[in-house]
């Protein structure tokens, strides 16, 4: 199958462009498809607007969103900060000095010396830079043949000198055999949200550039300067009639359409039973004050408050866990779970992240509608979610975007099919058990809980105070939940589950399953023993 791709090589080894507009605090990576299209359009505007190249751009804007091949990237930041370094640059639009000339130097300054860069005042600016592992990016359209547009697009690509900032030098070319993409367009929630182009984008950019009016205005000014008498007055009247009192200007292009991008998703193994929760949950990386697993309940409560505050009103039942009349929902709803460093050598149980686990019944577009305001700024940049509770809890969460995050922050680590599973956080029992057989009956209740989330009944369920996973604290170190009915404390235990066939996660069971308790991780014989 033929493939058509545009290759972009960053000649300096870095890309300078901001994803957050005028703030210029967050570097853009990978480059947005619309930014590449605008670079091609700018080259066309500035080199004579060849008709064949214009037709090629109009054909390009009619294509679907491209697939992308790009490595992950580091960001240049100031020491002890997560922002780009602050630079002080000369101001461009300075005027001649009007201070009284008391010396020869003052006279020179008033005459124009102040216009030189070293004499201009400085203003603070940030230059966000992404430093990729591979300096080459490909925008790929599988199965597309450019045909007659190949040569004009090739000629246009050669004219592009930079993408983003004028110092971000690039080389563009057309590639017939691009590498496999690692970012693909997806619907609903996605790790990346990139600007794309669409039909009519070139005409929109042309209107905002306003080059025809700018050139006509400059041409009339030259004619007026050369004319005299009645001809000059006539030209001045024509200038005022066409342009009024304002000089025509170019306007900055507005953002194009938005498209979600994510890694190609692997198909679930055929026939593996799964739960009512979707496996592609939303991963948030935590930073700030170091937190351990027993902090799960408070962290999840703070995160739930942030989710419901950012969600469009009224908050739907699948997010709030309550029906319209305020009664508890009988349907699966949004679960929040911790992602700790456990189950490996030297694991210490610290929280590296958290996850929003969405029920399978929720459509991807509905999930995006409710959660995107929490996860992203209007510019598309990831939003910093501040989690705070008096002096006890102070940290922040942000959407995990790295191509190769730590294994703890990879959904497949928690959801891959397995026969044996061990609890990461203790399971809150849905009722109280007494008598000599209380632990056997508690284990049977866990089997019932597995069936309630769509899994087959486990062959074995064992309860204990200690988890089988390295790094998980004893159950007694976790705060106990309280019953809403009478305020009594709910017992919780660690657990081990064994099935007669591999089952896929996420597995979250028990009375606290929506608040971070009762979360399991698959046991793999090669690592967990």
Q: pLDDT tens-digit profile of 256-302?
A: 788 888 888 765 556 788 899 998 889 999 988 888 999 999 999 99
Beta-carbon count within 10 A of 329 CB: 14
Same domain, yes or no, for 310 and 180? no
Same domain, yes or no, for 302 and 334? yes
DSSP reduced 3-state for 129: strand
- What percentage of the chain reaches a pLDDT higher than 90? 43
Structure tokens that stand for 248 in this block: 């025509």
Is 254 within the bounds of a domain? Answer: no
User: H-helix or E-strand containing 355?
Assistant: strand 351-357
Is 144 within the bounds of a domain? Answer: yes
Same domain, yes or no, for 174 and 292? no
Residue 301 is classified by DSSP as H
Same domain, yes or no, for 342 and 446? yes
Exposed / middle / buried, residue 150 (Cβ in 10 Å: 0-12, 13-18, 19+): middle
Same domain, yes or no, for 310 and 171? no
Whether a cis peptide bond, with omega within 30° of 0, leads into 189 is no
Q: pLDDT tens-digit profile of 397-453?
A: 998 887 778 889 998 899 999 999 999 999 998 877 777 778 888 889 999 999 999
Same domain, yes or no, for 57 and 149? yes
Q: Which of these ranges, 84-88, 145-149, 411-415, has the smallest mean pLDDT?
A: 84-88
Is 358 within the bounds of a domain? Answer: yes
The neighbouring-strand residues paired with 259 are 194
Total domains in the chain come to 3
The alpha carbon dihedral of 463, 469, 474, 478 has a sign of: negative
Domain encompassing residue 334: 282-522
CB distance 374 to 12 below 8 Å: no
Is 527 within the bounds of a domain? Answer: no
Strand 192-196 and strand 129-132: the pairing is unpaired
Cβ density class 293-324: b for 16+ within 10 Å, e for less:
bbbbbbbbbbbbebbbebbeeebbebbbbeee
Is 336 within the bounds of a domain? Answer: yes
Same domain, yes or no, for 371 and 486? yes
Domain CATH code at residue 79: 3.30.70
Instruction: Look up the pTM and report it.
Output: 0.75
Residues 515 and 529: their CA atoms lie apart, in Å, by 29
Same domain, yes or no, for 377 and 411? yes
Structure tokens that stand for 464 in this block: 């204990």
Same domain, yes or no, for 149 and 229? no
Same domain, yes or no, for 372 and 452? yes
Is 348 within the bounds of a domain? Answer: yes
Is 118 within the bounds of a domain? Answer: no
Which residue's structure tokens are 């691009």? 178
Residue 455 is classified by DSSP as P
Same domain, yes or no, for 140 and 180? yes
Q: Which of 203, 234, 257 is the last residue of a domain?
A: 203
Structure tokens that stand for 256 in this block: 């194009």
What residues contact residue 229 under an 8 Å CB cut-off, 6+ apart?
none
CB distance 451 to 510 below 8 Å: no
Q: Which of these ranges, 26-30, 145-149, 498-502, has the smallest mean pLDDT?
A: 26-30
Is 347 within the bounds of a domain? Answer: yes
Same domain, yes or no, for 510 and 445? yes
């Amino acid at each position: 199958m033929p493939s058509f791709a545009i290759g972009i090589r960053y000649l300096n080894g870095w890309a300078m462009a901001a994803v957050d507009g005028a703030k210029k605090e967050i570097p853009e990576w990978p480059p947005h498809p619309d930014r590449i299209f605008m670079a091609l359009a700018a080259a066309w505007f500035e080199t004579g607007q060849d008709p064949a190249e214009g037709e090629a751009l109009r054909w390009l804007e009619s294509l679907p969103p491209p697939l992308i091949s790009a490595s992950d990237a580091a960001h240049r930041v100031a020491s002890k900060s997560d922002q780009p370094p602050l630079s002080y640059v000369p101001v461009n639009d300075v005027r001649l000095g009007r201070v009284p000339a008391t010396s020869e130097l003052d006279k020179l300054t008033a005459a124009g010396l102040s216009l030189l860069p070293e004499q201009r005042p400085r203003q603070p600016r940030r230059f966000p830079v992404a430093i990729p592992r591979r300096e080459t990016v490909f925008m790929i359209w599988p199965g597309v043949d450019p045909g007659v547009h190949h040569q004009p697009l090739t000629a246009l690509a050669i004219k592009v000198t930079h993408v983003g900032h004028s110092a971000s030098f690039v080389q563009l070319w057309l590639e017939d055999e691009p590498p496999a993409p690692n970012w693909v367009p997806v619907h609903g929630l996605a790790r990346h949200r990139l600007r794309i182009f669409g039909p009519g984008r070139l005409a929109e950019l042309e209107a905002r550039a306003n080059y025809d009016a700018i050139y006509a205005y400059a041409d009339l000014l030259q004619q007026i300067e050369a004319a005299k008498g009645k001809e000059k007055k006539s030209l001045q009247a024509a200038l005022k009639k066409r342009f009024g009192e304002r000089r025509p200007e170019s306007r900055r292009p507005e953002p194009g359409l938005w498209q979600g991008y994510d890694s190609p998703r692997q198909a679930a193994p055929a026939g593996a039973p799964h739960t009512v929760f979707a496996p592609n949950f939303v991963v948030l990386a935590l930073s700030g004050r170091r937190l351990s697993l027993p902090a799960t309940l408070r962290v999840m409560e703070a995160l739930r408050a942030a989710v419901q505050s950012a969600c469009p009103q009224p908050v739907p039942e699948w997010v709030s866990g309550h029906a319209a009349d305020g009664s508890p929902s009988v349907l699966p709803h949004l679960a929040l779970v911790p992602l700790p460093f456990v189950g490996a050598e030297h694991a210490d149980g610290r929280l590296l992240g958290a996850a929003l686990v969405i029920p399978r019944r929720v459509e991807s577009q509905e999930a995006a509608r409710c959660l995107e305001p929490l996860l992203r700024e209007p510019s598309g940049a990831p939003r910093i979610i501040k989690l705070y509770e008096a002096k006890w809890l102070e940290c922040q969460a942000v959407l995990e975007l790295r191509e190769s995050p730590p294994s703890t922050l990879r959904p497949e680590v928690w959801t891959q099919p397995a026969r044996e599973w061990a609890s990461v956080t203790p399971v809150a029992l849905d009722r109280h058990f007494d008598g000599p057989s209380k632990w056997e009956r508690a284990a049977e209740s866990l089997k019932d809980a597995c069936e309630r989330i769509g899994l087959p009944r486990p062959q074995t369920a064992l309860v204990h105070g200690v988890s089988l996973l390295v790094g998980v604290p004893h159950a007694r170190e976790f705060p106990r939940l309280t019953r809403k009915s009478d305020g009594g404390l709910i017992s919780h235990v660690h657990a081990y589950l064994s099935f007669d066939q591999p089952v896929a996660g996420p597995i979250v069971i028990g009375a606290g399953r929506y608040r971070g308790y009762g979360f399991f991780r698959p046991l793999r014989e090669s690592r967990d023993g």
